[in-house]
Structure 1
């Protein structure tokens, strides 16, 4: 059974990956369907592309903020639910509600929330007397990035919370009983028992979270489309724009491999921080 599985993996994953890597060194376009070798021209062109540079910076900031925010919120929710005695099954169900929505639906939902004319956020702020006019959430660069980040964190936090909740409930109650005998408070028990023993679960949660955030094409495309004027462009929205809309498949392939490198480096950075904190 192993050989057929390896053949399928090689056909579905390995061959497209190798072929796209080859295309990143060619001038393959829709108007020139026969790939012509051009060495590192596509990669050099990326360094000279101001939109790519802005998308690269936006992607680093976006991943750093959203991954950390979703992790911290998931950790907080997992500990809050774990300490709830009554109604815990109901809380677990409510915690999983954002996971039931497709990213496309989340994008449309938050696009309406942050609409400057009929959006829920501006209406609530106006009703509370905190706002006289309207805030252009999806027009200003940083406000738009914040809006996209809120949608991304809302959708991905439950995954982290569920994984860390499972890890918390798997810890032996005897450890906490021994800590109570020693007079430890809640923070000391969390710092000395809960957090270190959640190490493997944190690794799984951060890995899944990083991959999910790095596939956030749907939300960004629907909420802002990378605009206005490419101000909220991310690598995973700029790649299909170059490769499909502009039919520059060679440049798009080169950009996609840069995106993979960014994702891998960011994930390794997270693992390094975990190793430094001694929870791996």
Structure 2
């Protein structure tokens, strides 16, 4: 080893490796270890009390955890489908625009520029019982005779959160699908029209198979975002009323900091991460199948 020096690329990357280890790898290892302990924030010495898989066993029989998981899956399912439909519609409208397309694309990206915390505050104000824009508009149009308790009723609060999520993230689908539409060659569409295909048949059998991979990429990105949704829910309802809008990560946060059960919370977090990986793997399989189909047909 005398006279050996590390290669230059390693030396150049060493600061980044140290920072990555300090802020990512070490916390991950520590949180994984604490998920096998009885660690409570109010009892620091409990970090060294190993209890094996007891936290994970508790989670598997915890009705509250599975209720939050069910709400998260419900939010993910509804949000992804509506965002894809609205994003597809926006993308097709912008793609058909003959002038001002760049301006429309810029405007379409505006919701992505707002942080989830700001979006949460915006929609919390809009759905306010007394001074909210939604209630004032409904009452002014005569559609409602009294204020609707959007953030007090459990079902209505869930709908309000869903609206906020869809508004803030539909542009992800719109931008990616629009990229697919702009990259699509025009010859197959013209050939379909010459063969007498209706607009629906042209879209169903020509356009949609080509842009499907772009939609699955957007679904993969958004499934990860919705699966760890926290900011908007925390600001708008904080999991209420009566935990009716509690999602996985708001439950994990409350368990870790309000209840001080950090070991259980870390176990919940790792179960949630595994569930996110399952959804991601599913969408990647769909994406691979769509790419194979395009390669065969195009």
Common fold by TM > 0.5? yes
Q: Distance in 1 between matches of 2:133 and 2:286?
A: 38
Does residue 1:162 correspond to 2:197, yes or no? Answer: no
What residue number does 1:129 align with? 142
* Structure 1 residue 152: Cα displacement: 0.3
Per-residue deviation, 1:276: 7.2
Q: How does 1:1-280 map to 2 (within 5 A)?
A: 1=9, 4=13, 7-8=17-18, 9-33=20-44, 34-271=47-284
Asked if the contact 1:63/1:214 (under 8 Å) is kept, the reply is yes
Cα distance in 1 for partners of 2:41, 2:22 equals 24
Q: Which moved more, 1:264-273 or 1:221-230?
A: 264-273
- TM-score norm. by structure 2 comes to 0.86
The number of residues matched between the two structures is 280
Q: Report the Cα offset of residue 54 of structure 1.
A: 2.1
Aligned-partner Cα distance in 2 for 1:68–1:35: 45
The alpha carbon displacement at 1:90 in A equals 2.2
RMSD of the alignment, in Å? 2.2
Larger radius of gyration: 2
User: What secondary structure, in the 3-state scheme, does the structure 2 residue paired with 1:137 have?
Assistant: coil
Distance 1:98 1:212 in 2: 15
Q: Which runs of 5+ in 2 are unaligned?
A: 1-8
Q: Are 1:28 and 1:250, in contact at CA under 8 Å, matched by a contact in 2?
A: yes
SS in 2 for 1:198: helix
Distance across 2 between alignment mates of 1:279 and 1:114 = 44
SS of corresponding position for 1:44: helix
CA displacement at 1:2 relative to structure 2: 6.5
- In structure 2, what is the Cα distance between the partners aligned to 1:10 and 1:279? 41
Conserved 8 A contact 1:156-1:212: no
Contact 1:199–1:279, Cα closer than 8 Å, also in 2? no
Which secondary structure state, in structure 2, belongs to the residue aligned with residue 132 of structure 1? coil
Q: Find the residue that maps to 2:38 and give its secondary structure.
A: coil
Cα distance between partner residues in 2 of 1:124 and 1:80: 27
Structure 1 runs not aligned, ≥5 long: none
**Residue aligning to 2:5:** none
> CA offset at residue 67 of structure 1?
1.5
